[in-house]
Structure 1
Amino acid sequence: RSMALAYRVIDRDVDINKMPIDEAESHLIFVGLTTMSDPPRPEIYDAVKRCHQAKIRIIMVTGDSKLTAKSVAVQIGLTSGKARVISGNELEKMSDDELRKALKSEVIFARVAPEQKYRIVKNCQANGEVVASTGDGVNDAPALKQADIGIAMGQTGTDVAKEAANMILTDDNFASIVAAIEEGRAVYSNIRKFLTYILTSNVPEAIPSVLFLISAGLIPLPMTVMQILTVDLGTDMLPALGLGAEAADPDIMNQPPRKRSEHLLNKGVMIKAFCWYGLLSSLISSGAYFFVNWQNGWPAKGLAASGSVYMRATTMVLGAIVFTQIANVLNCRTNKTSIFKKGLFSNKNIWYGIVFEICLFFVLTVTPGIRQLFNTTPLFASDWLFLFLLPIPLVLLDEARKWLMYHKQNN
């Protein structure tokens, strides 16, 4: 911005306060121009870049002149310089159809009154956009209220603006909005990871019951009710809570925003939980059950429905589910990024949960009294070796899936 400086010599006996403004500002002697610059904050450049990577569109709506608005937009990387600049007067003459068409391309709004922001927000929503709007004044309240997410300035914002907003920006910094978006995406992603992990164990728990019903009891229940409760209320709980503390995926801000109509428990979560992780767990746990019986003469002798063989078989089913869930909780930590790239041991909370579930399973298999309650029995050394090695191929198999998905997406 440029400011002109000038002066005028006035006699001492003249009362300046009583002089009309027009007269005081006449016959001035021009001194020169001074230029003032209010540069963008240093962090704004990276924040805008991250928004572009996240497919988040930024529309500048300012009260400054066209030249100033476009200059700042180019300077911070908001636009390449080809954006259309629409003034408040031009906006006033545009129909809603014309405005919606303009909003579909690069556009900057300059010399816009706060009341006109409401119209811009409403027409963005008419184009199917999810809109977040910022503001600090009383006149910004309608736009803040209309937006899907109204963001008021915490330091300079009025009480009216804060009341109308959904979120208050305490430091008045645009970069904090981007950080909040990243945190929100991370929380949403972690909830999905939590659901995927919790739902996975339902499949190997349900399939044995299905086999029991289909066979009319010829195949004894590979898991007792107490063993199922052990998984649902015991071994799964702490690792699942550890997923809630998982750091955001490295590429979370490179992903496009989800659709407004997309559900938290969507088709992708169901397929991954039931048809991938759950199916693998079911095959392994059921295989462990039949393998123990095979070692003891099945199918010639038939499947044991009681006794030491049956108890060892059900214990192996429980152990197989517990140890496949160790692999599953590690696999659920990332969607498409390699767990080794993120850091296999970077989330200590999950590893505390893994140690807990192994210890709990060990206690259930060796403690007299508890063994009878949960229908378990001490396992052989070869059984323990199998269980401890079990997560390794499952993690590597899912790493291959993530690698394929990553390269498919990039290509």
Structure 2
Amino acid sequence: MQSYISVNCGFPVDIKDGWREGHMFEYKNQVKYNCKQGYKLHGDIILTCEADGIWEGLVPECIPVECPHLSLPRYGTIIGSGNAYGTVLSFECMKGFKHKGSVERRCQENGQWSGDDVTCTEVSCGWPKPFYNGYLLGQKTSVGSVIFYSCDIRTNFEGSSLKTTCLENGTWSHPPPLCLGQCLIPSIPDATLNGQPDKREGVWARHGTVLNYQCKQGLVPDDNRPVRCDNGTWTSQPKCTPAACKGPPPHIDNGLRIFEGLKHNNRAKYICRNGYQLLGITDHSPYLICLYGSWSGGTPKCKEFYCPNPAVAAPLKNGNIYKRVNNGKFQFQKYITTIRHGTRLLFICDPGFIRKGPSGATCVNGTWSPSIDNPGTKCVEQNHPEFPKLWIAEEEKNREIP
């Protein structure tokens, strides 16, 4: 009977910075080597126990992982050194430059650097924003560069600084100013300017200037809002216009007024009651006119009409003149002077006389209607009419009739 002898290759070699897998060391058994993190295996990963009791393969070693050397970025520096696993390098750009890429990079287990390559590019603030009525003085926009602001002629500078500097963060230290246009003081007909001597016609006024002017008597500013210079333009055109009347036209007794409004050239018409006459208006029209802030044309009033006393003006010979009233009549006397509109007369002749003409008259706006003058009413003597003979005389009875 044949006997077998067990082959044992012995305890395999341990490696630095790594470990071994496998605990059986007889013929055909295998062991596997691994490296700890940050190291990579150099040599055979697996060893096999052969029949001659020797491990087949080269015992490996664990060598540190290394990343490629990083180049120094132009206009920048590297903080730190080395390229082994776990090494951390930082990057900084020179003043006036900004980085693009990863500021910090780490050597990884796979032998590659984390992040992206770093480049340093020059910081530029770009040209300041354009502004109206002005211009820039300067040629560069890099960090530390200075640009000067300047305004056109006939404008005023309003801003925090006459210059601006490009900062490291890519912004300008001061914003562009406002160059606000001046306004030419105009000629204002029928007005005088108030204020400082420099505020006169033909002088340029600064932005924000308020134009104070006073219109001649009877005129007022066309717009009550302040006239202000706003960046080269007046907010409104100064102008004097005729003033409106401050109140309605004067009241009138025994009449009424009708008016269009209180504006310049508006008219007010006056109408008197029947029996009253409109007086006091200069042009003999029924109107007052609003002219330059006041009612012009006189002081209207309604004066009552009185008819002449008929007993004095045209006495009725051989008769009497009476005034009609609701409950009868009474005789007019010469001393009566107040004979108002609407008074009615009655003409009555004495006995033996008859009336020739109208039986009466009415006082209408100061005159009698119909007129009591020529031809007027007269009382003429009454003559009896001739009657035809109603009898025949005796001597005529015996007359033969042919």
| TM category, shorter | under 0.3
Return the index of the structure with the highest Cα Rg.
Answer: 2
Normalising by structure 1, we get a TM-score of 0.20
Larger strand proportion, structure 1 or 2? 2
Larger helix proportion, structure 1 or 2? 1
Relative CO higher for 1 or 2, CA cutoff 8 Å, sep ≥ 6?
1
Normalising by structure 2, we get a TM-score of 0.20
